[in-house]
Amino acid sequence: MSARTPLHLAAEIGGPPHYDAGHYLRLARLAEGGALDYVTLGDSFARPGLDALAVLARVAPATDRIGLVPTVTTTHTEPFHVSSAVASLDWVSNGRAGWHADVSTTEAEARLFGRRSAAPPAALWQEAGEVADVSARLWDSWEDDAEIRDTATGRFIDRDKLHYVDFEGSTFSVRGPAIVPRPPQGRPVTVIDATSAPARAAAARHADVVHIRATTPEQAAAVREELRAGAAAHGRDPDALRVLVALTVDLGDVETAPEPGLESGPQLAGRGTYFRGGPVDLADLIAQWHRAGAADGFHLTPITPERDLERIVNGTVALLQHRSLFRTFHPGGTLREHLGLVRPASRYAAPKAAAASSASSKEA
Amino acid sequence: MPRTMHLAAHFPGVNATTVWADPRSRSQIDFSSFVHLARTAERGKFDFFFLAEGLRLREHNGRVHDLDVVGRPESLTVLNALAAVTERLGLAATVNATFNEPYELARRLATLDHLSEGRAAWNVVTSSDAFTGENFRRGGYLDRADRYNRAAEFVATARELWDSWTPDGESRPFAHDGEQFTISGEFTVPRSPQGHPVVIQAGDSSEGREFAASAADIIFTRHGTLDAGRIFYADVKARLAAYGRQPDDLKIMPGVTVVVGDTDAEAQEQAYEIRRQQVSPQNAILAAEQLWGTDLSAYDPDGPLPEIDPVIDSGLVKGRVLHGDPFAVVARWREIAAAKGLSLRQTVIETTTRQSFIGSPQTVAAELTAFVDERAADGFILVPHLTPGGLDDFVDRVVPLLQESGAFRSEYSGSTLRSHLGLAEPVWKG
């Protein structure tokens, strides 16, 4: 990997729950001011907190550029609803939506729904992969130019450009098409946290962005290569995958820390490696790992978002910007643009060249 | 002093009421359209903004129906976003009780109530068709009675979840063991600003009325005429006592269409022109196919009515509700066409339901006021035919007259939807 590859940065804004929009809005705007690629907001049926996708929908009109990536669990939620809600978040944010796919492993969560028992993570991640798959198909099920508003024929849509997905998963099936027209990004960004082994296969196959855990740049580079190889094995372009190292970050009480850097210590909030130190130490670590080609970027989970996100943005990010290692503004408008990911064509659309040649053969 | 009314704005639906071919028509999916209509409603001091839902695209003759507006975003996500750009307006989402689960939906509704500081409402609908079920794990079919059994237990279960935290913020475990749902655990959201989001019931059937009387705060009805409205109103209000409720505890709000012109005569002309736009030549054939239950694509919309008999239960139409006996309706169409010398399309236009209120601002304001005074309604859910500017005229020209006469509020007096509607906060049942 070239050292000139753009650096991508994201931050988690969850933490102890808040039940008002203002708290999350302040944090999202702070991250937006730092030109971060996206914020994530964790969610689980197992602990107190508002529905994360709803919170980020509330944040969307009050922000302009920052990507919005809520956790959406696939174990108990209908796949069709997952797809519709994420597509709708993309519409209300004008193309800034992603979703962090996750699973619900506990019996306590299963009892909240009363529909199925808890299952092993491997089975749940297979299902989560299928939900990611059917969601992407549903997002493709309307071609971009399906809406024609053709007064001459009285047709609002060209129904040949709407498609049944007829998806048969191991635990569910979906007929389609989507009820929501194709979202602004084509497909909102799918993020999978592959710090747990059962998630890794789904990540290689379905994710646009993968969060990984590593304690050295070499280890990060190795995991990244493994994921890229996995993506390629599924017929994907490995360069369309962004691999971000997940760090749980404690920027408080620097004086008392024996030595800044990574620790194998408590993993309080996130699933990544634990970092303790000052904002400058964190900037040094990010710069050094990125220069070494370890990753495409970092997903930072501050242990105390109200305190540490401000230090990340005004300390760490400002320093990286000063060293010309990170952008100072968002040149693009969509999350895909921030990440350098192309807007995918619908898999159901006739290839452009073929469509053009058939048009010309008709003319001839 | 007239009785004060309640008003709501329905975002234009995916049906032939919505005219998309008009040059003023804008996107049905861009967020800016939702912002426009919601801000118009809030400028008019409306009680709430209303979004419908459909979980499968409508089909005609085995293909996706292509003549009307198709496609819309998911309701709750849009309303959470609208909470950011409005301050007082209630936000009502239609969400299906057949294809959702109580824990998750109660959580999403409580979340909207928190994020909007007490403005959330839920329009409870049910589905019984396997057609929609093809998009969902549960698939399958519920018979009519089971639909309402499930809906009633769903709402009761949601209320148990909304009551599971104490008013001072302590979470308590819940357990529900019923016919439809057996669930237990802890709810993840504290009691929301309204206690319970406002519950709306849409549907005029006897089961629907009973369900509304037992469990809803608002009933969204189709009864658009004064006489039908008064009978419906009396019937529904009379059902409340059996549940220990007062007449004012359930608001009756018919969905209505309004055409405002400078004069009554000009409004009538506009109303006819809108109906003509709603019935394109293709839509005329389609309306006839829905009635006849068979392919009529060979017929000329500007020619006479088909002479063949309707076909019953042909399965031609999926994902929409049919009303009435086809033979009787066809006979009536033939009478009208013969008496007035009308073509197929003209007959469809003629028989298309006329807009509920047509006239000058003064006429419309007076008729709305009379409707409420004579207890045919407690208010109205206005269904505009244009996205997103379809209520601009109403808000600019009719609302000021209603405010002047005291028939409608001039300012919001409270901050929650319950306060707009004059509904008490539900008693906490710990």
3-class SS of residue A194: coil
A80: contact with B, CB 8 A cutoff: yes
pLDDT number for residue B353: 83
CB contact under 8 A, A112 and B99: no
- CB-nearest to B73 from A142, A172, A180 is A180
State yes or no: pLDDT of B319 exceeds 70: no
Name every residue whose Cβ is closer than 8 Å to that of residue A42 and which is 6 or more positions away in sequence.
Answer: A12, A14, A52, A71, A100
CB contact under 8 A, A84 and B56: no
Q: How far is CA B328 from the centre of its chain?
A: 27
pLDDT number for residue A361: 39
**Boundaries of every domain in chain A:** 8-106+185-342
Taking CB atoms and an 8 Å cutoff, what residues of chain B touch A79? 137
pLDDT number for residue A360: 40
- CB-nearest to B70 from A47, A50, A157 is A157
State yes or no: pLDDT of A351 exceeds 80: no
Range A326-333 average pLDDT: 96
A 94-113 residues inside an 8 A Cβ radius of B:
94, 108-109, 111-113
Smallest CA–CA distance from B134 into chain A, residue:
A175
How many Å lie between the alpha carbon of B67 and the closest alpha carbon of chain A? 5
Range A90-101 average pLDDT: 98
Range A280-302 average pLDDT: 95
Band of residue A352 on the pLDDT scale cut at 50, 70, 90 = low
pLDDT number for residue A4: 61
State yes or no: pLDDT of A268 exceeds 70: no
Q: Dig out the tokens for A176 from the structure.
A: 């389609």
How many Å lie between the alpha carbon of B321 and the closest alpha carbon of chain A? 18
How many Å lie between the alpha carbon of A216 and the closest alpha carbon of chain B? 37
Dump the DSSP string for A7-53: PEEEEE--SS---SHHHHHHHHHHHHHTT-SEEEE---TTSS---HH
CB contact under 8 A, B181 and A114: yes
CB contact under 8 A, A111 and B184: yes
Query: How do beta strands B182-185 and B174-177 pair?
Result: antiparallel
Q: How many angstroms separate the CA atoms of A270 and A302, rounded?
A: 8
A170: contact with B, CB 8 A cutoff: no
pLDDT number for residue A2: 47
Place of tokens 């244009």: B386
CB contact under 8 A, A55 and B74: no
* Mean pLDDT lowest among A50-54, A196-200, A245-249: A196-200
Place of tokens 């008999």: B309
- CB-nearest to B29 from A91, A108, A171 is A91
CB contact under 8 A, A92 and B77: yes
pTM of the prediction? 0.95
| Disruptive mutation site among A64, A74, A112, A164 for chain B (greatest number of B CBs within 10 Å) | A112
* Mean pLDDT lowest among B20-29, B125-134, B158-167: B125-134
Burial (Cβ within 10 Å: 0-12, 13-18, ≥19) of residue B190: buried
A113-131 tens-digit pLDDT: 999 999 999 999 999 999 9
Report chain A's mean pLDDT, rounded to a whole number.
Answer: 92
Smallest CA–CA distance from B178 into chain A, residue:
A114
Residue B357 or residue B223, greater confidence:
B357
Percent of chain B with pLDDT over 70: 98
**Homologous superfamily of domain range A8-106+185-342:** Luciferase-like domain (3.20.20.30)
What is the count of residue pairs from A and B with beta carbons less than 8 Å apart? 177
Smallest CA–CA distance from B55 into chain A, residue:
A179
CB atoms within 10 A of CB B324: 9
CB contact under 8 A, B73 and A87: yes
- CB-nearest to A54 from B56, B63, B108 is B108
Domains of chain B: 6-261+355-421 (3.20.20.30), 280-351 (no CATH)
CB contact under 8 A, A154 and B282: yes
Long-range contacts from B202-205, C-beta under 8 angstroms, 24+ separation: B202/B94, B202/B123, B202/B124, B202/B125, B203/B125, B204/B232
State yes or no: pLDDT of B138 exceeds 90: no
Helix (H) or strand (E) holding A75: none
AA letter at A196: S
- CB-nearest to B115 from A21, A115, A180 is A21
Opening angle at CA B415, ends B409 and B416, nearest 5: 100
CB contact under 8 A, A149 and B54: no
Written in H, E and C, the secondary structure of chain B is CCCCCEEEEECCCCCCCCCCCCCCCCCCCCHHHHHHHHHHHHHCCCCEEEECCCCCCCEECCEECCCCCCCCCCHHHHHHHHCCCCCCCEEEEEEECCCCCHHHHHHHHHHHHHHCCCCEEEEEECCCCHHHHCCCCCCCCCCHHHHHHHHHHHHHHHHHHHCCECCCCCECCEEEECCCCEEEECCCCCCECCECCEEEEECCCHHHHHHHHHHCCEEEECCCCHHHHHHHHHHHHHHCHHHCCCHHHCEEEEEECEEECCCHHHHHHHHHHHHHHHCCHHHHHHHHHHHHCCCCCCCCCCCCCCCCCCCCCCCCEECCCCCCCHHHHHHHHHHHHHHHCCCHHHHHHHHCCCCCEEECHHHHHHHHHHHHHCCCCCEEEECCCCCCCCCHHHHHHHHHHHHHHCCCCCCCCCCCHHHHHCCCCCCCCC
Name every residue whose Cβ is closer than 8 Å to that of residue A181 and which is 6 or more positions away in sequence.
Answer: A142, A146, A147, B29, B70, B71
A142: contact with B, CB 8 A cutoff: yes
pLDDT number for residue A350: 83
B40 annotated ligand binder: no
CB contact under 8 A, A47 and B188: yes
State yes or no: pLDDT of A264 exceeds 80: no
AA letter at A338: H
CB contact under 8 A, A92 and B30: no
B44-56 tens-digit pLDDT: 999 999 999 999 9
> Phi and psi (nearest 5°) for A98?
-135, 180
Report chain B's mean pLDDT, rounded to a whole number.
Answer: 94
B128 annotated ligand binder: no
Asked if the ipTM is above 0.85, the reply is yes
B205 annotated ligand binder: yes
- CB-nearest to B108 from A48, A51, A172 is A51
* Bridge partners for A247 per DSSP: A273, A300
B362-410 tens-digit pLDDT: 999 999 999 999 999 999 999 999 999 999 999 999 999 999 999 999 9
Taking CB atoms and an 8 Å cutoff, what residues of chain A touch B71? 142, 147, 157, 178-181
* Bridge partners for A40 per DSSP: A12, A69
pLDDT number for residue B248: 96
Burial (Cβ within 10 Å: 0-12, 13-18, ≥19) of residue B145: exposed
